[in-house]
Structure 1
């Protein structure tokens, strides 16, 4: 029992550090955050930090892994039963942009790390490539250069999320963004619009995605 309590306390402390680091990275960017800022925001001592992470870079990497990989798993679960590759691609883009409204700290975090850290593409890139390749294989997409197309999608995603966070957010910008990307990969205007009008499924929490 005592070991269970210690384990829960340790996990709660680590979660506090991760949460504080995520908020600071969203505000300042990954290269500007210091250990002192993280421990202060978490209301923990510096010694406690070193019980969990050896360096500042270690916690930044952990935050990226936790934040981005969890989103990737949630998107995988959300789209698992979709039969149309175009819907899989569009729904993922709509959710990624839509999360900027419901979770602005997450969105600013993605914008900040996207410009300075390769982890975003390292984690979500293979998923995007997989979904685009499926569209090619099933005849839904017309793509001549798959790696370049994936790069364009990610570059425009970061720019679109930043613009979305900084705008008045009128209209369904996530659907508009997804529609533009569908047209880029070969769908007609009418087909892309129809796909993006489909109901957007619930984005499951990580514990739901793991079931």
Structure 2
């Protein structure tokens, strides 16, 4: 029986049908953005923990991704280098803290009290978290110190005090720069002293009391730099301190 040629099957048209349970890209975008943001925060958290343990110079990208449980290649979806993540870490930590200070001072009418509260909370956190304090010293000495974060807020609050004739400064910018230097030098000295004191195993209550007195004294000095009389500056610096959220001071 001769072979009968089979008719060539017609080309099947591909009909795209929605896959059950699969969302359109538009619907998935917020989820992807959220996951990306969560990964970035995990990397920053891991970097901060490693810096606290080993210092910046002793941390590698591999260690950061391992601690964050993130693939090595994924690191470069967020940061271009180790220096890049450290710069982002500084921005993240201090912008968040600066926002917290804004919330704490939002109900204060006196620019002098705003300055005092911010200085005291900053010093207290630096004393409680030495690594945070060391990062603050590094950031405060950078060229961008006045353009963002805590430096930007200090300059803004100083300008407000000048506008309301609460502060008296011959040169506003130089005064703010000198205040930043005073705060950073104070933090450096206190961190060194705290390290020595911890070797003597003092109680936590003693350390906290000393840190609070130190923060109050520094705030009084800062207010005097802004033109307040010593007695008034000390009175404002000793006012009850608004409580900060646990994650901002612990």
TM-score by length of 2: 0.71
CA contact (8 A) 2:79 2:85 kept: yes
1:60 aligns with 2:86: yes
Bigger fraction of residues in helix: 1
Counterpart position of 1:36: 62
How many correspondences in the alignment?
A: 205
Give me the CA root mean square deviation: 2.8
Report the CA distance between 1:121 and its aligned residue: 3.1
The one of 119, 127, 145 equivalent to 1:101 is 127
Counterpart position of 1:127: 153
Counterpart position of 2:171: 145
Deviations 1:133-182 (A, max 9, x none): 22222222110101111111112222211222221453610000000111
Counterpart position of 2:242: 201
SS in 2 for 1:20: helix
Distance between the aligned counterparts of 1:11 and 1:185, measured in 2? 40
Distance between the aligned counterparts of 1:32 and 1:147, measured in 2? 36
Report the CA distance between 1:11 and its aligned residue: 3.6
TM-score by length of 1: 0.82
Mark the structure with the bigger radius of gyration: 2
Equivalent residues in 2 for 1:175-186, closer than 5 Å: 175-186=216-227
Distance between the aligned counterparts of 1:119 and 1:15, measured in 2? 23
1:173 aligns with 2:173: no
Report the CA distance between 1:185 and its aligned residue: 1.6
Relative contact order (C-alpha < 8 Å, sep 6+): which is higher?
1
Distance between the aligned counterparts of 2:137 and 2:151, measured in 1? 15
Deviations 1:82-134 (A, max 9, x none): 1111101111100100112333332222123334x334432122211111122
Instruction: Give ranges in structure 2 of 5+ residues lacking alignment.
Output: 1-20, 23-27, 195-206
Instruction: Give ranges in structure 1 of 5+ residues lacking alignment.
Output: none
